[in-house]
Amino acid sequence: MREIVSEEALLEIVHEDEEFVVVNKVSGMLSVPGRGPEKRDCVAERVREMYPGCPEQPSVHRLDMDTSGLLVVARNTEAHRALSIQFQKRETRKRYFALLDGEVDTDSGTIELPFRLDIDNRPYQIYDPVHGKVGITHWEKVSVEAGLTRVAFIPITGRTHQLRVHSAHERGLGVPIVGDPLYGRGTGPAQMKLHAAELGFQHPRTGDELNFSSTPLF
């Protein structure tokens, strides 16, 4: 495991080879640059600094800033293309863990909820059965701890804020993720308890099946 130290956080490399790296992102760090110089620091920029020759935009997928966990970043354009196709075709395997701010009655299920961006309140997503696109998530209750519910999510689609909306909305689980500043009671950055714990895909060059895992800190 390799780490790079910055002023704000450590960048933990779970796997590296000539084609890509897998990063265990901390909560509070951007996946890709935002607008403005104060939002340049992110996983993609740090990987480019560590591995000269990376594409200008090496990220294959993204995690929300306050979501922690596994993120794959390509080291060349061929790997970026091959990995991106797997994500677009939903051929990857992803599993998240979350701590919800309350108790969930049922034990498991599938959430299918149409939602879209609220253009008057970006980046907030709103339920819209007419114009929204459906997000699909399988979920399973893991445990209940002091009135909080630990759940595992397997997202089938990859919509913006999908797991957060599916947790909080009354047509989903009806219980927001602990620390969510948009859909729950979070009051600041790096408080949200949502972690990308498992990631699987085919190696972009060899085709070998690869699986990576990361334990949440909550």
Provide the pLDDT for residue 10. Answer: 62
Exactly one of 41, 64, 101, 120 is catalytic; name it. Answer: 64
Here the CATH number for the domain that contains residue 156 is 3.30.2350.10
In a domain, 16, yes or no: yes
Q: Do 118 and 184 fall within a single domain?
A: yes
Rounded to whole angstroms, the Cα distance separating 155 from 153 reads 6
Q: Do 166 and 187 fall within a single domain?
A: yes
Our answer to whether residue 118 is catalytic in this structure is no
In a domain, 61, yes or no: yes
DSSP state of 155: E
142-170 average pLDDT score: 97
Provide the pLDDT for residue 6. Answer: 43
Rounded to whole angstroms, the Cα distance separating 137 from 61 reads 18
Provide the pLDDT for residue 35. Answer: 81
Q: How confident is the model at residue 34 (pLDDT cuts 50, 70, 90)?
A: confident
Sign of torsion, CA 25 31 37 38? negative
In a domain, 218, yes or no: no
60-73 average pLDDT score: 97
In a domain, 139, yes or no: yes
Q: Do 38 and 124 fall within a single domain?
A: no
Q: Do 154 and 84 fall within a single domain?
A: no
Phi-psi region of 20 (alpha: psi -120 to 50; beta: other; left: phi over 0): beta
Beta bridge partners of 140: 108, 152
Beta strands 68-74; 194-202: pairing state: parallel
Q: Do 136 and 175 fall within a single domain?
A: yes
* pLDDT over 70 (residue 98): yes
List the end-to-end C-alpha distance of the chain, in Å, as a whole number. 21
Counting the structural domains of the chain, the total is 2
53-57 average pLDDT score: 93
Q: Do 73 and 119 fall within a single domain?
A: no
Q: How confident is the model at residue 162 (pLDDT cuts 50, 70, 90)?
A: very high
In a domain, 121, yes or no: yes
Q: Do 15 and 75 fall within a single domain?
A: yes
Domain limits for position 18: 2-92+201-213
